Amino acid sequence: MKITRSLTFKLILSYLFIILISFGFVSVFLEKNLKENTLQEIKSSLVTQASLISNQISIQSIVNEDIPQLEALLDQLRDKTACRITVVSSRGKVLADSEESLEKLPDMENHANRPEISDALAGKIGFAARYSLTLKENMFYVALPLKEDGRILGAVRLSLLLAQAEELFGTTRTAVLTGVLIALGLVFVFGAYFMARTIRPIKDMIRVSRKLSEGDLSHRILPASHDEIAELAVTLNIMAQRVEDKIREVDAHNQRLEAVFHSMVEGVVVVDKAGRILSVNPTIERIFGIDGKDVVGRSFLEAIRNNDIAEVVDSVLREGKSVSREVPLVLPVCKVFQINAAPVFDGNSINGCLAAIHDITDIKRLETMRSDFVANVSHELKTPLTIIKGFIETLLGGALEDPQNNRHFLMIMQGHVERLNTLVNDLLSLAYLESEESVFRRERIDLHQLAEATLADRQPQWQKRKLTISNELPSGLYVFADKDKLTQVFSNFIDNAIKFNKDNGRLAVSCEDLGSHIKVCVEDAGIGIPEKDLPRIYERFYRVDKARSRELGGTGLGLSIVKHIIERHQGSVGVESVEDLGSKFWFTLPKE
């Protein structure tokens, strides 16, 4: 509004200035010309009149100085002209005057020295403008010589009140001024109209520019003409379109970044150069149990109370170099994190830091598990191999010829070879189950029948231990599973229930309906498992009593194979046990 007003004001001012200057010049010029022309007009009119009057004056009356005749003539002419008429002799004596009475004529001064008279008596046309002592007024005079045969006999003078000339001039000037004023008015009206038309698109541009500056980029200017302003409007429209496109592009880019930022598995935190948090992603909120909205603007250490991570961020802000470090976290969760922090530069100066925090707890655990596994496998292999090696050496050292022991030694070696074989088979099963290629061929299986067959296969074992066996699974209870794998599960549970049972103990296979799943339990009244071992019982090579397990031919891999098989069938495994009273191992499977 301010811009428009000032532009309007400036335009009006410049219009007025130009108009006033132009009309000022025109007026001055006109007045000067008018004055000159009016005077010239008056002069020539007076000369004409004087010439006409001189023609009517008889030369005889001049020569004879026949004053009454001249007075009579002037009396006749007085009403026909607005001028005063004076007739003088060649010596300058006033012979007649239209404004003076006959009686006063003798008192009148000699006019020979009056400039116009003296010019006329010299044969020229005399002009003069001066103050008349006789009439006490400014007068304009024109005098013509009265001649006969080239001889100057006198002069006739016409005088006009200058006020009369001024009046004439004034009338003309008023007319001119009126014209000028009307023109001025018209110029002003049309000027205002054209100015409004010129300013309207500029106002439109200001309005649209203001909308654009407020972030509303949907507005455009409609160019109403084809002039430079329209060109400017088109340019402004193109600019607005470009800005809108760019903003849309930046928005889309930001949205993509935001989506990546929010869906990242890594926790990301951005801090400014003073170490205050600018933003955190949901993973950080989850890890540290904080609300992103609450921590923005707060110092890093204050929001994420971890000295190690704060140190990493500090060193990045101080040194301007990326830092990568593993940081164990105890609170609020017991985890291991990999921190990768990089400086954010603004030109050459450090403007902040971006830290990506990756939860590597699982990787670490897997690494430990892998190294434990290798150590376990090596150990499991080493023991029987050492024993076999020892017996081979003994046999080669002469025991081969010892008929009392050689067979016994070979049988021990066979036992250990079998153990090795079982171990390798279990390891292969486990590797196969973990591999992507493992294929499960699912079919409809009657659980009662499967348990019955597994128990029947182990009849010698359980009979030897005098166990009471009961298969409480209802017949006609079906699941959809891989039969070989499920047989492996039943075999492991039942083998363990026999192995770790007490003589004359009990072994029962039962089930529970969990709605969507069936829970199958293998219960024994054996040695049970101490409470502290229960959480780790399904781990590879985990055995409560290693020596006893080995003695019983166990590898410590059976339960972990079961867990793999069941989980691949979308089920779960578990155990309940009381030391010395017995255990209940169970698995669940989705109903058919």
Residues near ligand ADP (CB under 6 A) are: 492, 496-497, 500, 524, 526-527, 529, 537, 543-545, 549, 554-559, 583
Contacts of 230-234 with C-beta under 8 Å, sequence gap 24+, read 230/201, 232/205, 233/201, 233/204, 233/205
Query: Least CB distance from residue 368 to ligand ADP, whole Å?
Result: 19
Q: Which is nearer to ligand ADP, 309 or 537 (CB)?
A: 537
Q: Give min distance, CB of 411 to ligand ADP, in A.
A: 21
Between 114 and 458, CB nearer to ligand ADP: 458
Q: Are 159 and 141 in contact (CB under 8 A)?
A: yes
Q: Which is nearer to ligand ADP, 204 or 524 (CB)?
A: 524
Question: To the nearest whole angstrom, how small is the minimum distance from the Cβ of residue 547 to ligand ADP?
Answer: 10
Provide the H-helix boundaries in 57-66: 59-63
Instruction: Judge if the upstream peptide bond of residue 332 is cis by omega within 30 degrees of 0.
Output: yes
Cβ count near 297 (within 10 Å):
11
- CB closer to ligand ADP, 294 vs 579: 579
Q: Cα 190 to the chain's mean position, in Å?
A: 46
Tell me the chain's radius of gyration from C-alpha atoms.
Answer: 66
Count of residues for the chain? 592
Specify the residue, 85 or 527, whose C-beta has the smaller distance to ligand ADP: 527
CB of 498 vs ligand ADP, minimal distance in Å: 9
Min. distance of Cβ 259 from ligand ADP in angstroms?
45
Q: Given the complex with ligand ADP, which of 304 and 494 has the nearer CB atom?
A: 494
Residue 454 has a CB neighbour count (10 Å cut-off) of: 22
Q: Residue of minimal CB distance from ligand ADP?
A: 554
Q: What is the nearest approach in angstroms of ligand ADP to the Cβ of residue 320?
A: 54
* Four-residue CA torsion sign, 263, 267, 268, 272: positive
Query: What 3-state class would DSSP assign to 65?
Result: coil
The minimum distance between CB 579 and ligand ADP, in angstroms, equals 9
Please state, in angstroms and rounded to a whole number, the distance separating the CA atoms of residues 570 and 589. Answer: 7
Query: Closer to ligand ADP at the Cβ: 221 or 561?
Result: 561
- The burial of 563, by beta-carbon neighbours within 10 Å (0-12 exposed, 13-18 middle, 19 or more buried), is given as buried
Least distance from C-beta 362 to ligand ADP, angstroms?
23
CB 155 within 8 A of CB 179: no
DSSP-based three-state secondary structure for 358: strand
- If you write DSSP's letter for every residue of 160-182 in order, what string do you get? EEHHHHHHHHHHHHHHHHHHHHH
Which residues are CB-neighbours of 235 under 8 A, at least 6 positions away? none
Q: How far is the CB of 500 from ligand ADP (least distance, A)?
A: 3
The smaller minimum CB distance to ligand ADP, of residues 281 and 429, is found at 429
Burial state string for 322-350 with b = 16 or more CB within 10 A and e = fewer than 16: ebeeebebeeeeeebbbbbbebbeeeeeb
Report the alpha-carbon angle 509-513-515, nearest 5: 155
343 or 556: whose CB is closer to ligand ADP? 556
Nearer to ligand ADP, 488 or 496 (CB): 496
CB 494, min distance to ligand ADP, A: 9
CB of 466 to ligand ADP, least distance (A): 17
Cα–Cα distance for residue pair 424/353, rounded to 1 Å: 51
Backbone angles phi, psi at 158, to 5 degrees: -110, 130
Closer residue to ligand ADP (CB): 304 or 561: 561
